[in-house]
């Protein structure tokens, strides 16, 4: 009797190990199509990019190794640091305004007002327009607004800054709003009812019930707006192109201009791009960890 289960276990084990073996055998084969795509579209360019940042080159297939010279050359002037600072300022302001705006709209549009769906659609629509087009449209609008004062958006960097903030808000609030609406609608009615019975007023309700419950949405939205802000390119290019004199140039545009705009600086542009990637990855991961720790299970 005692031998039987033993035999079963052996059988079972061997069956499992056979399965495992064949999985191991074919895993590579099945994963291959995906891996090849991943390699071509992501891994190879990334590796090449990092490698190239240590080379002096004009075309990407032909260069000479120069060590960390490119990284040193980033700081021969303060272009990069001023672009970094401008980007940080822009990102801080736009993350706050976009999320506040989106959350407010989401709260308004989940109260069952008439025409909610129409409003949601309308607020979402700007997100469907491409960045370059938006940049041009807003450039015309802002120049029109500034016309009576006899200036244009490139007369002073502050116009460019606030122009970018307005543009990003207009484009992104609708998208973030949809995410917040999903979060708010997911809050269980029992929870809200219980809070109401307990006598929670509107502020308490918001602070202790709604906000903790939509923490995942907040994580996603702040993550998206933060990285979007840091990586902003099209809108920056179309709205001001960095004018006046690079003072509204953000990181991505600065990298682009270094790579394509200055002869002999391709490698420096590449080095900047590597640093840029590290910064964005670091910020995004830190932020993700911070907000994740606040998430609660409803």
Partner 1 sequence: MKKSLLIALLIVSVAMSSVLFAAGAKEAAPAKEVYFLNFKPEIADVYETKIAPAFEKETGIKLKVVTAASGTYAQTLKSEIAKSNPPVIFQTNGPVGLAESKNYTADLKNTEFYKILSDKTMALGDGEKVLAIPYAVEGYGIIYNDAIMRKYFALPNKAVSIKSADEITNFATLKAVVEDMTKNKSALGIQGVFASTSLAAGNQWRWQTHLVNVPLYFEVRDANIAMGSKVPEIKFSYSANMKNIWDLYLNNSSTAVGLLGAKSVDDSMAEFALGQVAMVQNGNWGAGQILGVKGNKVSDADIKFMPIYTGAAGEEKYGLNVGTENYLCINSNASVEQQKMADQFLTWLFASETGKQFVKNDLMFITPFNTFKDSELPTDPLAKDVIRWMNKSGVSSIPWAFSMIPSEEWKNQFGAALADYSVGRKNWAEVEKVAVDAWKTEFKLTN
Residues that bind partner 1 (CB under 8 A): 24, 28, 35, 39-40, 43-44, 47-48, 58-62, 76-77, 143, 147, 149-156, 240-246, 260-264, 266
Give, in degrees to the nearest 5, the angle at Cα 259 between 225 and 152: 60
| Closer of 56 and 231 to partner 1 (Cβ) | 56
Q: From 237, 279, 263, select the one nearest 80 (Cα to Cα).
A: 279
Residue written as tokens 């999320």? Answer: 99
| Closer of 136 and 282 to partner 1 (Cβ) | 136
Q: Smallest distance from the beta carbon of 261 to partner 1, in angstroms?
A: 7
| Closer of 40 and 285 to partner 1 (Cβ) | 40
Separation of alpha carbons 13 and 97, rounded Å = 58
Q: Smallest distance from the beta carbon of 125 to partner 1, in angstroms?
A: 27
Q: Smallest distance from the beta carbon of 257 to partner 1, in angstroms?
A: 9
| Closer of 170 and 256 to partner 1 (Cβ) | 256
| Closer of 215 and 238 to partner 1 (Cβ) | 238
Separation of alpha carbons 137 and 139, rounded Å = 5
Q: Smallest distance from the beta carbon of 73 to partner 1, in angstroms?
A: 8
Rounded to the nearest 10 degrees, the angle between the axes of helix 215-231 and helix 157-185 is 150
| Closer of 8 and 264 to partner 1 (Cβ) | 264
Q: Smallest distance from the beta carbon of 77 to partner 1, in angstroms?
A: 8
| Closer of 69 and 295 to partner 1 (Cβ) | 69
Give the C-alpha distances (Å, rounded to integers) separating 76 from 79, 148, 212, 247: 9, 40, 47, 17
Q: Smallest distance from the beta carbon of 259 to partner 1, in angstroms?
A: 8
Q: Smallest distance from the beta carbon of 33 to partner 1, in angstroms?
A: 13
Separation of alpha carbons 61 and 177, rounded Å = 45
Separation of alpha carbons 231 and 91, rounded Å = 10
């Amino acid at each position: 009797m005692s031998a039987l289960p033993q035999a079963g276990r052996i059988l079972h084990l061997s069956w499992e190990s056979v399965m495992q073996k064949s999985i191991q055998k074919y895993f590579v084969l099945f994963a291959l199509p995906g891996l090849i795509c991943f390699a071509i579209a992501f891994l190879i360019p990334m590796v090449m990019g990092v490698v190239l940042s240590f080379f002096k080159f004009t075309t990407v297939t032909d260069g000479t190794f120069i060590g960390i010279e490119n990284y040193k050359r980033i700081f021969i002037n303060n272009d990069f640091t001023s672009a970094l600072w401008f980007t940080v300022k822009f990102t801080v302001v736009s993350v706050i305004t976009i999320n506040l705006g989106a959350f407010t709209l989401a709260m308004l549009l989940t109260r069952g007002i008439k025409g909610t769906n129409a409003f949601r659609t309308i607020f979402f629509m700007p997100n469907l327009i491409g960045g370059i087009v938006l940049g041009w449209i807003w450039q015309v609008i802002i120049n029109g607004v500034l016309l009576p004062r006899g200036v244009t958006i490139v007369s002073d960097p502050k116009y460019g800054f606030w122009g970018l903030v307005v543009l990003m808000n207009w484009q992104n609030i609708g998208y973030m709003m949809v995410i917040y609406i999903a979060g708010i609608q997911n809050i269980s009615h029992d929870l809200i009812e219980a809070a109401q019975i307990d006598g929670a007023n509107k502020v308490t309700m918001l602070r202790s019930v709604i906000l903790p419950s939509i923490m995942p949405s907040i994580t996603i939205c702040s993550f998206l707006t933060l990285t979007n802000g840091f990586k902003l390119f099209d809108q920056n290019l179309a709205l001001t192109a960095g004018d006046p004199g690079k003072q509204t140039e953000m990181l991505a545009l600065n990298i682009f201009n270094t790579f394509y705009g200055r002869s002999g600086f391709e490698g420096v542009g590449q080095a900047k791009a590597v640093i840029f990637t590290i910064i964005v990855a670091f910020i995004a991961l830190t932020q993700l960890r911070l907000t994740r720790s606040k998430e609660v299970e409803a």
